[in-house]
Amino acid sequence: MKVVSEIEIRPTSVVLNGQPIAVETTGEKMLVELYRRYAGDYPKFFKMDTLSRLGFIAAEILLKEPRAKSQEPTAIILANRSASIKNDTDYLATISDGNYYPSPALFVYTLPNIVTGEIAIRHHIQGETSFYILDAPEQLEQILLSTMSNNLKPSNPQTILAGWCECTEPNNFYAKLQIIWNN
Amino acid sequence: MEQLIEQLKSQIIDALNFEDMTPADIDTDAPLFGEGLGLDSIDALELIMLMDREYGIKLADPKAGKAIFQSVRTMAEYIQANRTK
Amino acid sequence: MVYCVGHSIISPLGDGSQANYEAVQAGRSGLKIHTDRFDSVEPFCASLFDTPQAFVPLCIRSVEEAITNNQSPITNSKDTIFILSTTKGDNLDLITPAKMIAHHFGNPNPPIVVSNACTSGVCAQITAMRLLEAGMYQHAVVVGCDIQTKFIVSGFQAFKALSPEPCLPFSPDRKGLNLGEAAATIVYSQLPMANSQQPLWTLEAGSIHNDANHISAPSRTGEGAYRCLMDVMEGLSPADIDLVGVHGTATLYNDDMERIALERAGLQDTPISALKPFFGHTMGAAGVLETILCAMQANEKMVNNKMVNCIKMLSGFGGVNAAIRIRV
């Protein structure tokens, strides 16, 4: 496994392949700022929950990199520790006693793997999408190694967009996404 | 009726998270789905919930929404005729 | 290829794989109309335990039943990995219950939770197969479980996805899905077990594909499901497949999508099994529970001890599809 390209997004900073990207805002506002700078033509972004916006933006920046373009990922494998807890909390507010109007648009995001689907739709990736809940990011490496290990199988991906994508509160999130080659 | 249409446009913008859009940007008679606003199946469900929450209208059969959600005007007409609050 | 060396199902229809299999054979269903559960504003049809079950103890009981056949204790070994398949876990917490289950059995490895919407139970088996085939572990305990809550029921009601009566997969009269509760466990191993009391199988292939089309609406071309079927049939022809366990949620669009994928893969004449009229949609448990019962159904089809091939397929929110092929 070889990491070809990497992005880290925190509420106050963005680092692409070791180089910081200057941002004027923080937290959720920063994700919108990045959307306007790097995408801008995808209004569905504003329908997404914060976890999906985070993963979407990370993928958007990463996949525009020349190094990523030379061999595009055929699979998306992400993980975190808290599943979709931020959006679960938002949905719970719509089914509270006395104000019971469950929101379908929020409910659909109460699954962490929706972010992998959003990235797949945006980049037309029809290979594997998987989401794991792990105690620590280091565990993901073992899963990725085993996923790539038997390259004789037609379904085993050779290039994966992989990493950690976590959002516990509107302004508390962390993403570290990588493009990984199997050679 | 015109007042209801304006109010409904604001509620749709809020409920469906249309960023950077004002009621003036929505054509009262343009199709909500397909071309026009380009809404999808989740948006349709969210509009059903909006009618329940804001106007006390319960729509059990989502297929009935097809006629109601043709445009903001058809939606407002339906609300005018069926609202309970 | 990895070997199933034990399994169990705990559902409202009974305790143990055999009890559940016999219930299905006898045509018994766990589906009932409920009016007084989860503050529901309207009656709903679901397969629920009469006595509400706590998530972790239910999973632990399921694992204990699955390993009763085993001669040697494997659950506390460093060569065993616990993999939990669930969508909402224990009151929205997924990692803590997984750690509690692994800890209960004295397992030293941090567990893995697969949360890939309704495909999780099949994806968890694929994860197990990969880890075993890569030589990282010798055994994998795959537990699938979900229990119903106000959270889930209200969400599916808001999605207008629930049928007011027992669901009818692949029927022209289908009106939607029913929710269900269950825990199911499959233990996979690098080596087969001799002299089993249960029907066992090998897990031969697995595949996961996204439709890349919409986060909740099934693909109109069945693209992801079709690609999964083609992957797991690699090297075989449709005639080699003896049974397909479909997802069969009985929503209008899911079943139509599956039909298209099956036809595209040349499997339109292959017998299918759809189990949700008995158990409802058990979400994180579905892939595990339905694999076990498909294997037991396929076992009945064996003639002169000739092995049979069975495919289990699932699809879920996020546009994800998954399939595995087992040999019984």
Does C210 lie in the same domain as C175? no
Query: Is C195 inside any structural domain?
Result: no
The pLDDT of residue A158 is 86
How many domains does chain C contain in total? 2
Average confidence (pLDDT) over C242-256: 97
Out of C41, C211, C215, whose CB is closest to A108? Answer: C215
Count CB-CB contacts under 10 A for residue C191.
11
d(CA C217, CA C211): 10
The pLDDT of residue C118 is 97
Q: Do residues A30 and A7 make contact, with C-beta atoms less than 8 angstroms apart? A: no
Q: Domain ranges in chain A? A: 2-181
The pLDDT of residue C199 is 81
Q: Mark A116-136 as b/e (b = at least 16 C-beta within 10 Å).
A: bbbbbbbbebbbbbbbbbbee
Q: Residue C53 is part of a domain; what is its CATH number?
A: 3.40.47.10
Instruction: For residue C227, list chain A residues with Cβ-Cβ distance below 8 A.
Output: 126
> Which of A114, A33, A131 lies closest to A79, judged by CA?
A131
The pLDDT of residue C65 is 95
Q: Do residues C221 and C49 make contact, with C-beta atoms less than 8 angstroms apart? A: no
CB of B41 within 8 Å of a chain C CB? The answer is: yes
Q: What is the pTM of this model?
A: 0.96
Q: Please, which pLDDT band fits residue A152 given cuts at 50, 70 and 90?
A: low
Q: Do residues B83 and B55 make contact, with C-beta atoms less than 8 angstroms apart? A: yes
Query: Is C196 inside any structural domain?
Result: no
pLDDT at A151 > cutoff 60? no
Domain that holds residue C96: 2-189
Find, in chain A, the residue whose alpha carbon is nearest to that of C113.
A133
Average confidence (pLDDT) over A102-114: 97
The pLDDT of residue C304 is 67
Q: How confident is the model over B21-74, as pLDDT tens digits?
A: 899 999 999 988 877 788 888 999 999 999 999 999 998 777 778 889 999 999
The pLDDT of residue C87 is 98
Does C125 lie in the same domain as C217? no
The pLDDT of residue C71 is 65
In CATH terms, the superfamily for domain A2-181 is Thiolase/Chalcone synthase (3.40.47.10)
**Span of A92-106, C63-77, C115-129, C174-188 with lowest mean pLDDT:** C63-77
Q: Please, which pLDDT band fits residue C258 given cuts at 50, 70 and 90?
A: very high
Does C118 lie in the same domain as C27? yes
Which CATH number does B2-18+28-82 carry? 1.10.1200.10
CB of B53 within 8 Å of a chain A CB? The answer is: yes
Class of residue A27 by CB neighbours under 10 A (exposed 0-12, middle 13-18, buried 19+): middle
pLDDT at A154 > cutoff 80? no
Best of A125, A130, A140, A149 to mutate (most C CBs within 10 Å, chain C): A130
Does C169 lie in the same domain as C37? yes
Segments in chain C forming alpha helices (H): 17-25, 55-66, 95-104, 120-133, 150-158, 223-232, 252-264, 276-279, 286-301
Q: How confident is the model over B59-78, as pLDDT tens digits?
A: 877 777 888 999 999 999 99
Q: Say if the Cβ atoms of B42 and A103 lie within 8 Å.
A: no
A141: Cα separation from own chain's centroid: 16
pLDDT at C195 > cutoff 80? no
Best of C94, C137, C138, C313 to mutate (most A CBs within 10 Å, chain A): C94
Query: Is C179 inside any structural domain?
Result: yes
CB of B45 within 8 Å of a chain A CB? The answer is: yes
Q: ipTM, 2 decimals?
A: 0.97
Does C217 lie in the same domain as C166? no
CB of C301 within 8 Å of a chain B CB? The answer is: no
Chains touching B by CB (3 or more pairs below 8 Å)? A, C
Query: Is C197 inside any structural domain?
Result: no
d(CA C322, CA C123): 7
Instruction: For residue A121, list chain C residues with Cβ-Cβ distance below 8 A.
Output: 212-215, 319
